[in-house]
Amino acid sequence: MHIRRYDRRTLLKHASAGTLASLGFTPLWSAMASEGKIDKAYPDELKSLSDYSGGAVAEGDEITADNVESVKDLLEPAKYMHVAEMGRRLRVVPQTTDYMRLGPWEYQEATLRNKGKARFDEQMNVVDDRGKPWIGGNPFPEPESALEYFAGLTLSWGRHDASVYAIREYDVDTSGEVDYQYDLVWAELAPVARVSMDPKPYWSEHLDKLRFNSVIFTSPVSHAGTSFLNIWPYDQHQYPFLYGYVPDFRRIRQFPTNQRFEPLVPGSCLYLSDAWAAGDPLHTWGNYKIVGRQPLLAGVSGGWKPKNDNWAHAVHGGPKGQSFFESVVELVPETIVVEAEPVKFSRAPVGKKRVWFDARNLMPVAMVTYDRAGKPFKSFDGCYGLYDQDGEQFMDGDHPYWSWCYLHAFDFQTGRISRLEQVKELDASHSTRVNDSYIFDDYLTQNAIRAWGTT
């Protein structure tokens, strides 16, 4: 197909309207399905930051306070503020054009394989063409509504059937000091829509559930053993059941299911509700709407640091040089900006959230939440990546692991920052694992969280 040349203004106008196909570009999902690449879906201006910025910033450069104005329209407000005012630096890496490098291999395959089979049932839960729970991959690869963006994300957070993330969290105060540091384990397992682990696509005895998820703190000693086990019903109107091991009580207690806007530990900027930008059941939020479409600088590759001890990231920025991880961004050619409101949480501190979805894999690449008064509350930005870098690989079965690498949560109103990084291991007991058949017994039962509890 011949693509005639268009001026920059026309291209960007159509890009922001999602109508590049009308100019002769191949629709994104057709391009990825047929060739595994996005090249034919976007003009050069959206495939290279150098082209986009007219040479002001190029791949390999660093975005700093000195040149950030030239790419201001490619940054969500928190990241811009971090660079312009707080000394954060963003290293620009080349755009990822290979579809299979934008998610776990099996999930990416299943998304293409199952395209067109998903719908909402009368309860507005995602089902396949037989009316059964979803069978794997993203159910709505070409979303037609804001709800469909969040439906796919809520169905599968990390896009693996089972994951254990060994995490180091550093909470930074306004003076730039790390005043709290935590080691924690985040585990999630999907009993439905499974694409890697047997039985597939369903673990039949848990067909009524969407997810098992636990978070277990292992350090410092005051919080070691503090844990929360969420069991998500498949019905996205229902709140997850929440159990927790409370070290002071030395036993498991049940928690109410609707308290999801609480910092789990002192100093942290994160709520359960913030997880993966879709931490609550789909229909406990509402008023979903698409509010924009834009290219964005975001971290979707190159965030893994295999050469560093325990995959740790170097830090920089802020008053003490400890506020941010060493960050990489690439030009994401198209993001869809979607907003939603926590309609079932009457006293939530969040009035709405705005999430930027990468059109290529429909993962959130940035989120900003707003308080009830409409003021910016918190932002979340991080970096995904294929764990295949610098000559090193970390495998997920037959293919390199794909996951998130680090995350910044920034509180606009207090200036606090929580930095989280996925590390290789916390100690001999906890290491990052994926699609491991032991994950359920190790982390996702009451027996499991009790076993990790303080003794």
Q: Which of residues 349-368 bind another protein (CB under 8 A)?
A: 349
Per-residue contact flags (x/-) with another protein for residues 210 to 249, judged by CB under 8 A: ---------xxxx-x------x---------x-x---xxx
Q: How far is the CB of 345 from another protein (least distance, A)?
A: 9
Q: Among residues 16, 67, 259, 322, which is the contact residue for another protein, using CB under 8 A?
A: 259
Instruction: List the interface residues with another protein, window 402-421 (CB under 8 A).
Output: 414, 416
Q: What span, in angstroms and rounded, lies between the C-alpha atoms of 253 and 5?
A: 64
For residues 434 and 414, what is the distance between their CA atoms, to the nearest angstrom? 35
Nearest alpha-carbon partner for 246 in 233, 264, 258: 264
Give the x-and-dash track for 155-184 against another protein (CB under 8 A): ----------------x-x---x-xxxxx-
What is the number of alpha carbons within 13 Å of residue 403 lying toward its C-beta? 31
Type of residue found at 398 = D
Exposure string of 312-341, with b = 16+ CB inside 10 Å and e = fewer, is ebebebbeeebbbbbbbbbbbbbbbbbbbb
Q: Is 309 in the site for another protein (CB under 8 A)?
A: no
Stretch that binds another protein, among 24-32, 91-99, 121-129, 345-353 (CB under 8 A): 345-353
Q: The tokens 């499991």 sit on which residue?
A: 448
Nearer Cβ to another protein (19/222):
222
Spatial separation of the C-alpha atoms in residues 195 and 434, rounded to whole Å: 13
Three-state DSSP state, 19 = coil
Scanning 22-30, 40-48, 82-90, 260-268 for contacts with another protein by CB under 8 A, the matching segment is 260-268
Amino acid, single-letter form, for residue 416 = R
d(CA 91, CA 60): 7
- Is residue 202 a contact point for another protein (CB under 8 A)? no
Residues in 24-83 that interact with another protein by CB under 8 A: none
- Give whichever of 5 and 347 is closer to another protein, judged by the CB atom: 347
Checking DSSP bridges between strand 376-386 and strand 209-219, what pairing results, if any? unpaired
Please say which residue, 287 or 446, places its beta carbon nearer to another protein: 446
Q: Is 286 in the site for another protein (CB under 8 A)?
A: no
Question: Residues 257, 273: contact at Cβ < 8 Å?
Answer: no
Binding site for another protein (CB under 8 A): 171, 173, 177, 179-183, 205-206, 219-222, 224, 231, 241, 243, 247-251, 253-259, 261-263, 265-269, 346-349, 371-372, 414, 416, 426-429, 438, 441-442, 445-447, 450-451, 454-455
